[in-house]
Amino acid sequence: MSSDLVRRPQRADARRNFEALLAAARDAFAENGTEASLEDIARRAGVGIGTLYRNFPTRHDLFRSVYVEEIDQLAAVAAQVADRPPWEALAVWLQRFVGYAATKRAIMEALNRDSEMFRDCRKIMYAAGEPLFLRAQEAGEVRADASFDDVLRMVSGLVSAGYVDEAQRDRVLGYALDGIRG
């Protein structure tokens, strides 16, 4: 898993603060882009700015950690849904992928797409999601002419559109998923 790409604190209280900062940063970046205020992120997490800087000495460290956390969550969801029926497992994973794609879009300009971290995360994401896709495809639940990469690009494209609210985004995702059903 990509957890080794980010140093997580060992003490329970420090780990809680770290995780709260990641969640607050993800939300702030989704709302305000990469220019989100670090003070606002610390406030949302319920910690002081010093705690933020102890965990993430630079803004880039925070971007990197938020991105890696999203990949970790994608991998965790894949493991959690692996025993569900093929289509259900894939659909749940793709719904979580929407959250990842939104975060990625919000901080993409701050990430080096050619970095080893980015390549490692991509491998982890594919290793988590592609088996779900292939299992659904083998079960006849996904069109035979679709590829996992095609589906990820389609969903990523959908995420880049603006939506009135999450319900509208979820409906549009549902229409797209209907289009890949076998």
Q: What is the pLDDT of residues 125-162, one digit of tens each?
A: 999 999 999 999 999 999 999 999 999 999 988 888 87
| Maximum CA extent, the chain | 53
Angle between helices 12-32 and 38-45 (to 10 degrees): 130
Q: Are 151 and 94 in contact (CB under 8 A)?
A: yes
pLDDT of 5 higher than 70? no
The helix/strand/coil state of 92 is: helix
Q: Are 46 and 80 in contact (CB under 8 A)?
A: no
Q: What angle do CA 55, 100, 75 make, to 5 degrees?
A: 85
Residue 82: the pLDDT is 95
Helices (H), the chain: 12-32, 38-45, 49-55, 59-81, 86-107, 116-138, 148-160, 166-180
Q: What's the CATH code of the domain at 50?
A: 1.10.357.10
* 142 phi and psi angles, rounded to 5 deg: -125, 140
Q: Are 47 and 19 in contact (CB under 8 A)?
A: no
Q: What angle do CA 65, 58, 157 make, to 5 degrees?
A: 45
Cα separation, 70 vs 74, whole angstroms: 6
Domains: count for the chain: 1
Domain hosting 36: range is 2-180
Mean pLDDT over 63-92 rounds to 94
Residue that wins the pLDDT comparison between 93 and 117: 93
pLDDT of 33 higher than 90? no
Cα separation, 180 vs 80, whole angstroms: 23
Q: Are 64 and 6 in contact (CB under 8 A)?
A: yes
